[in-house]
A and B are shown apart, each in its own frame.
Chain A
Amino acid sequence: MPSNKIKIKIVDVAVQFDSIRALNNVSFHVNTGEFVGILGPNGAGKTTLLRCIYKAVKPSSGAIYIDGKNVEEFSYKKLARIISSVPAEIPIEFNLTVADIILTGRYPYMDGSVRWWESKKDLLKADEVIRKLRLQNLLNRLFYTLSSGQKRIVLIAKALVQEPKIILADELISNLDLKYQLEVSELLKEISRSNVTVLATFHDLNIASRFCNKLILLKDGKVISIGEPSKILTPDLIREVYDVKAKVIKESDKLIIIPEKSINSNINYS
């Protein structure tokens, strides 16, 4: 069970990109060991929110606190020992192997410029993750030759090798087949059980409701609602956020969301 210690606190965060307000006074907190799903339509501000947490975007106002300390006070290297991210994709111009990518996760621990190779401790950590995620046979494979699902697992491995307290995953299960959608979500759920806080953006409401213990609904850069999946994924809120009429069926402790009709369609079918 997640402990109640607040890990991330976001206070009145706003982000302005030229004339676009990407985030609008967003406030919430996340406890240690929670698996939080960030939901919302395209352009709602989900990715921007994650990027603010790892300092890739500086909020125009407001503040983000990790363990009570403002992220602006952390150096990039120090923050990299607390937060790791699983990107939706990485550049594939060069022939990096799976091992090359996983070992970059130890960079935040390789102090100074003199150390050329990874230490025994670095290798032990990498090996532990590689075994856990069963990547032994892929280590010498070129990353760009992997399937989307394998790529996502490798990037999660890189994130875990970082020994983070927080994992941020953008578009966690996008482009993955059904099997990998479940495996990747289950993996992140299991990671969160070991007191690592996970924030991930989702488009699939069913998967998010099944694996996350807290959901955040965003629309136009604003938080519409936060809470347990059963309280968040109601037909009214889905309609408000997505402009979609949906049926929500509760079956024991699971929710089944069936989208039925788009309201106020952007496309003119006539």
Chain B
Amino acid sequence: MSHIIDVLKQKKVKLFITVTLGTFLIFLFILSALCIGPAYVSLTKTISILLNVDNKQDYGNLRNIVLNIRLPRALCAVIFGAALSVAGALAQATLRNPLVDPYILGVSSGAAFGAALFLLLGFSMLILPAAAFISGMIAFIITIFLSRLAGGTTISVVLSGIAIGTLFSSLLTLLIYFCSEEKSHYIVLWLTGSLSTIRWSDFNVAFPVITILLVYVLLRAKELNVILLGDEQAMQLGINIEKLKYEVYTLVALLASIPTAYSGIIGFIGLMSPHICRLIVGSDHRLLLPASIVVGANMLLLADLVAKSAYMLIMPSSPTELPLGALISMIGAPYFIYLLIKVRGRYAL
């Protein structure tokens, strides 16, 4: 029985190496994120603040910056990156379309619009994730419906998503004209994507919800493998395909909307991360999903680090952040074009 057991062993080794290495990098980037920013905090100081080992030393505001501003921000980058990446992997598997992610499907823009609308109407910040989910789900359903009307091809899904995403982004932009300056600041951040407003209260809501969702998705990895063989084969292998699809669509909307409610529109993580992971570990979702979690987390952490620290190279005298969403799109958009050309060669669009 050597052959198939060997294949399975290779898979387990790949999974172990990817997750271990990915987790190590996450810790490394978190530590960097705690040190780097307008106020530089040395590694020694950061570690002693984190471990609370040097009580006698008064770090003044640095303690507050590290523990209450940078730490929740870095931890949210981890869970949001993981959530967006897994949402992309799920959407790609169910739609059997390597060109989609929550942003391209219009879910992120829909979610951001919903959150902004509720904020404008005076609802509490606490219900923003729920508002984002409902609106993100509506955007997703419209995209799927439109793509079916347009022929259901790979490219029709992409085009429908872009149309719906543009529509919701435009609506979001219009909202700026109807709200106060303080709220319009939020909306601009949502449009460009940013983790700068994240605090512990946000992390405390997002972390348990996203963790539960990710564990649930990991347990469905086997079904996602089967679904790659096509709807009819999946059905023939014992899957209630309609039920599974609705379940996965809801998961995609939830995993994309919750980060969007707090950080605005961050596109392309869900496109690039699963694709890179497929190149490393293959398409078996038992490997792909854990790999997507660590790679997505690393990508957003790294992008946020760059967003925070790029001013040092560009304008050292004026510490301003680059918009995170725009920064990722600068890499994501060319990557999407590359995939578009590559995929076009493989099968008819």
Contacts and interface: CB of A to CB of B under 8 A. Distances in A.
A51 B346 CA distance: 28
B52 interface: no
Interface string B226-251: 10111011011111100000000000
A87 B236 CA distance: 10
B236 A80 contact: yes
Contacts of A92: 346-347
A104 B1 contact: no
Contacts of B283: 94-97, 100
A133 interface: no
Contacts of B346: 92-93, 144
B233 A90 contact: yes
B4 interface: yes
The B interface, classified by DSSP as helix, strand, loop or mixed, is helix
Contact of B229 (A54, A76, A90, A144): A90
Interface string A92-128: 1111110111111101101001111110000110110
A101 B282 CA distance: 12
Given A90-B230, A99-B7, A79 B1 contact: no
A96 to B, nearest CB: 5
Contacts of A263: none
B202 to A, nearest CB: 30
B329 interface: no
Contact of B228 (A56, A94, A113, A130): A94
A60 interface: no
Interface residues of B, number: 39
A162 interface: yes
A96 B238 CA distance: 20
A162 B278 CA distance: 26
B321 interface: no
Interface string A204-222: 0000000000000000000
Nearest to A104: B226
Contacts of B219: 113-114
Contact of A55 (B97, B226, B235): B235
Interface size band for A: 35 or more
Contacts of A75: 238
B98 A94 contact: yes
Contacts of B221: 116
A130 B4 contact: yes
A96 B1 contact: no
B5 A123 contact: yes
10 smallest CB-CB distances across A and B, nearest first, come from A77-B238, A80-B238, A113-B219, A94-B283, A108-B238, A127-B1, A99-B7, A136-B3, A107-B237, A76-B238
Interface of A: 51, 54-56, 75-81, 83-85, 87, 90-97, 99-105, 107-108, 110, 113-118, 123-124, 126-127, 130, 136, 139-140, 144, 162
Given A91-B230, A126-B4, 12 more contacts: A55-B235, A76-B239, A85-B236, A87-B229, A90-B229, A92-B346, A94-B92, A96-B228, A100-B225, A115-B222, A117-B286, A144-B346
28 contacts: A51-B232, A56-B235, A56-B236, A75-B238, A76-B238, A85-B236, A87-B230, A87-B232, A92-B346, A92-B347, A93-B98, A93-B343, A94-B96, A94-B98, A100-B284, A104-B225, A104-B226, A104-B229, A107-B226, A108-B237, A113-B220, A116-B221, A123-B1, A123-B5, A127-B3, A136-B3, A139-B3, A144-B346
